[in-house]
Structures are given as structure tokens and as C-alpha cells.
Structure 1
Amino acid sequence: MHKIALIALLSLPLFAGFFPQSVHTSIKSVKGDVITLNSKFPVNGMSGVVVHNYGNDLTAITSRIAQTSSDGTASLLSADIIDHDNLPTIKTAVVPKDKVIGGYLYNNVLLLAPDADTYAKVVSSHTKKWIHPDLFALYLSVEGEAGPSKENLKHFAKKYQVGLVYIVRKNSAVLLDPVSGKIVSEKSMSNLPKEGKFPFYMRFEQIDSGWFGSDTTGNYYNTMESL
């Protein structure tokens, strides 16, 4: 069991930068929902978008993909790119030579932290476009969700253009790609509080609707381990 855990840990990009770099490549071949990239992404689980050229300087994002193998194999995730009820869904099929942006919006990061001090330290350590957890808290309240989950993080990320979720766990930090639902980076962390604010640090004490108006007790670290 320990060997399996070690192999899984080593398969993640534990490089000094922590954040996987966005990459630009193209589609080599398509077979159903299985796509081969001309250049692989730096880590499996990284999602990306497919950009189709319609000619006459007209391009559009048509699909989302996620790398599933280190040989550059990816899976087609969804063609529902635009999150707007009044705009049509793009139905253009993915074809060879379409451009691909891996790590799309990876500079836009939602941080889930145990307390204000940890939040401030992380934000000051990286130059990113930080999406404040207050916005995620409001989203969960409006949606009536019982707590953070991979599913509501995925929906929130699509709605608010979030590329990564930085999650502070007990003695470590991970980066979750909310589109693929996969952890794409991990590193150790120290000097964390013994207990964290449940369900995560935010500036609201209570919101009088849905989840926040009812049970607000729980364990922060247990919640983050489940993501």
C-alpha cells in the first residue's frame, strides 16, 4: 500500500513552481471521444480547450478535453462550452489540426484554506488571479448545496471561469482541475492550524439561506480530503 501511494505521489508534478504551465498544441487524430495530441500536456488530468478555425479570421472554442495518458492521449469531455442560456451550443466536431490550449484559465485560481492567515500567505506567495472563496460560498448558498464537492466546483468553475482550485489539506496542498476532477499537482505544507474554519475560510459568518442557514458544523480537513 505504501509503495502504491508513493508511486501515485511521484506521478504528480512536484516541481518547484507547483503550478503546471499552460501549453499550446494541436489535435493529431480523433477516434470517437479519444483524441491524440501532437504534444502532450505536462501532467495527466490537465484539461484543455479545443479551438476551431472557421476561416476569415473566425475562431471559437468548441470542446473541452482532458489528458488521460502520458503519451498525449486525451478524452473529449464536453462540447457545452458557453455557459449562457441565451447563446446557442456550438456543435462543431473536433477534427485533426484543431488548436488546443492545455491548462486553459490555469491563472484563475480559487483558494480553499483553513483560516485567514493561511489564505493570506498563499495569495501573497503566487502571482495569480485569485477567485475569493466568498464568491464560491455565495454560489453554494444560492444553489442550496450541502458543501463543496467536485461536482459543484466543476459547475462553479465553468460559470466563473476558474481554471484551478488550490486546496489546503492537512500538511499538504493540492491543485484540483475542476473540469477533469483530477489532482494535477501536490506539495507539502507546514505550520497549518490544527483546525480550520468549516467548511472553508470566507469572510461571511452566516448567510440566511440554504446550507449556511442550517448546519455549519463539521471538520474542515475531512471535507478537503474528500475533494
Structure 2
Amino acid sequence: MKYIILILVLALQLMAGVVKSPLISVDEQNGVATIKIDKIDVGMSGFIAHNISKEHSVILKNVVVSSYDSNSKIATLKMSPYDALRNNALPSGRWNVTVGDTAILAFGYTRGLLIAPNNDIYHRITKSVKNLQWVHPDIFATILSFNGHPTPLREDFTNFSIATSVGLAFIYLDKKLFTVDAKSFKILTITDAQLKQESTQLPFYTRVEEIDAAWWGEGSSRLDYYEPYYYKLLTEANPDNKELQKIVNNFKPEASK
């Protein structure tokens, strides 16, 4: 157990802190920009800030690290519209992303949400990791209930990340802990976690007794199986992750509690 947590703490330390780097190229037509940085993880999300003056700046785009060349130290960022702040009363500018604007990545990586199958695993992991502010899954469950989603959708994780400034989501599946960017749902690390799982609470451990369901629509059905569903969410967001593919292929559904 100590070995497992040591690896997790080390991974968190490597990802801790907001990463800032100026853009060295911009391709607005294809929606990409690049930065030069010593180390970065593919899948990290963030945004691009543009300085209006010495004291003021504006956020122009969301970004996700789509690729990284360790030889050239060049990271490619995929841009998308910034949607974290919505207020029709606020004026909108006409600024374009330009070289020299600042990419701000790993924002919110000091706050995490843990999806665990039961109370014991949840508390064993969260109590062992001290360098992270854990946001309780009760809050996530309450939001799911408001949206009528007893089965959490990927968009629920994204919206939860935006609403609570949670940058990391951790999902415990079949003796492994997946660390993902809460907005992009891209896998950052996969850690062995040999914890005994004696029971499973659906859709995840929470003290909320029941998550309300909508009359119809995606996410309105009750979750029947824990591991297969979260593996499905991870696979859809990480189709090229070979380590994940190997884990999923070796997973035995009948072992799912």
C-alpha cells in the first residue's frame, strides 16, 4: 500500500503547479498552436490568455495538449472555444490568438475527484494522499441528481470540472488507479493499486442515497456494472492508448462486482 501511494504522490508532484508557456506558432485555420517546453503530458488541458495591458488579460481559447515531441521539446495544442465563463451581459472582444500569447496548462491540478467502488477504497486512497485537495463525490452526485443522470456521462465530468475548478479525476478500476484530466478525460497516468475490493456501490461511492433520474435521454438509466462502464468512458476518450487497450482486453467482466 505504501508503495502504491508513493508512486501516486510522485506522479502528483510531477503534475503539480500551473504550467505557463508562450505560444511559438499559431494555425487558426486548423485550430492548433505550439509551445516549447521541457516536459508536458499529452492530454493536459488549459487555456490561452491574451494580454490586453500590463494589468489585464483575457482568455481566448480552451486548449488540450494533443502531441509532444521530446526531441524538439515542442508541444502541439488543440484549440477550442472557451466556455468556462458564460455571461451575455459581458462584452465580447475580437481578439485573435497570436504568437506570444500565453498557454496556461494544468489549471486546477491541485484539486481532485476520486471515483471509487466503495467507502473503504475511497478513504484508503484519499487519506494517504496529502498533497491534493479532494472534492467529495457527494458534490458530484448532487450535480448528477440535478441533471437526472444516475449514470455519469463524460460531459458531466467536464461540466463538474468547470464548475468546481477540479483539474484531475481519479478512477479506481480492478486494482488500478487511472489519473485523467477532468476536462479532456485523457489519461495522464495508470498506477497499480492492489486494494481488496469486497463490494461495489453504483454508480460510485457517495453518501447521497439516491441520484434522481430524468424521464429519458442519455445518462437517465441506472448503472448496472461498475468497471465495464468506466472502461467504456476511458476508451472512448483515449482510443489510441495501448496500455488501456491491453488492460481492457485482459479484463474479465465476470470478475466485476
* TM-score, scaled relative to structure 1: 0.83
Q: Deviations over 1:159-203 (max 9, x none)?
A: 222211111111101112132221111111112314421100001
Provide the C-alpha distance between the structure 2 equivalents of 1:181 and 1:84, rounded to a whole number of angstroms: 26
Please point out which of 179, 200, 206 is paired with 1:202.
206
In the alignment, which residue of structure 2 is the partner of 1:44?
42
In the alignment, which residue of structure 1 is the partner of 2:229?
223
Deviation at 1:81, TM superposition (A): 3.1
Deviation at 1:216, TM superposition (A): 4.6
In the alignment, which residue of structure 1 is the partner of 2:107?
104
Residue 153 of structure 2 is aligned to residue 152 of structure 1: no
Q: CA RMSD in A?
A: 2.4
Q: AA paired with 1:58? A: H
Q: Deviations over 1:116-141 (max 9, x none)?
A: 12111211222212111111111111
**C-alpha contact (below 8 Å) 1:80/1:89 kept by paired residues:** no
Q: Give matches, 1:110-129, under 5 Å.
A: 110-126=113-129, 127-129=131-133
Please point out which of 179, 182, 193 is paired with 1:189.
193
Provide the C-alpha distance between the structure 2 equivalents of 1:105 and 1:90, rounded to a whole number of angstroms: 26
Range that drifts further, 55-64 or 184-193: 55-64
Q: Deviations over 1:46-75 (max 9, x none)?
A: 112212111141123322111111131111
Secondary structure at the counterpart of residue 160 of structure 2 = helix
- Go from structure 1 to structure 2 and tell me whether the alpha carbon gap of 1:225 and 1:195 turns closer, same or farther (over 3 Å shift): farther
In the alignment, which residue of structure 1 is the partner of 2:184?
180
In the alignment, which residue of structure 1 is the partner of 2:141?
137
- Go from structure 1 to structure 2 and tell me whether the alpha carbon gap of 1:179 and 1:77 turns closer, same or farther (over 3 Å shift): farther
In the alignment, which residue of structure 2 is the partner of 1:65?
63
- For this pair of structures, how many residues does the alignment match? 212
* TM-score, scaled relative to structure 2: 0.74
- Go from structure 1 to structure 2 and tell me whether the alpha carbon gap of 1:88 and 1:118 turns closer, same or farther (over 3 Å shift): farther
Deviation at 1:111, TM superposition (A): 1.0
Give structure 1 stretches of 5+ with no counterpart: 1-13
Residue 27 of structure 2 is aligned to residue 31 of structure 1: yes
Q: Give matches, 1:8-23, under 5 Å.
A: 17-19=10-12, 20-21=15-16, 22-23=18-19
Secondary structure at the counterpart of residue 209 of structure 2 = coil
**C-alpha contact (below 8 Å) 1:112/1:201 kept by paired residues:** yes
Secondary structure at the counterpart of residue 67 of structure 2 = coil
Secondary structure at the counterpart of residue 68 of structure 1 = strand
Please point out which of 32, 53, 56 is paired with 1:55.
53
Q: Deviations over 1:188-223 (max 9, x none)?
A: 11123144211000012225x326xx8656222223
Provide the C-alpha distance between the structure 1 equivalents of 2:167 and 2:190, rounded to a whole number of angstroms: 16
Q: AA paired with 1:17? A: L
- Go from structure 1 to structure 2 and tell me whether the alpha carbon gap of 1:186 and 1:108 turns closer, same or farther (over 3 Å shift): same
Provide the C-alpha distance between the structure 2 equivalents of 1:91 and 1:170, rounded to a whole number of angstroms: 48
In the alignment, which residue of structure 1 is the partner of 2:240?
none
Secondary structure at the counterpart of residue 226 of structure 1 = helix
Q: AA paired with 2:231? A: E
Secondary structure at the counterpart of residue 59 of structure 2 = strand
- Go from structure 1 to structure 2 and tell me whether the alpha carbon gap of 1:216 and 1:139 turns closer, same or farther (over 3 Å shift): same
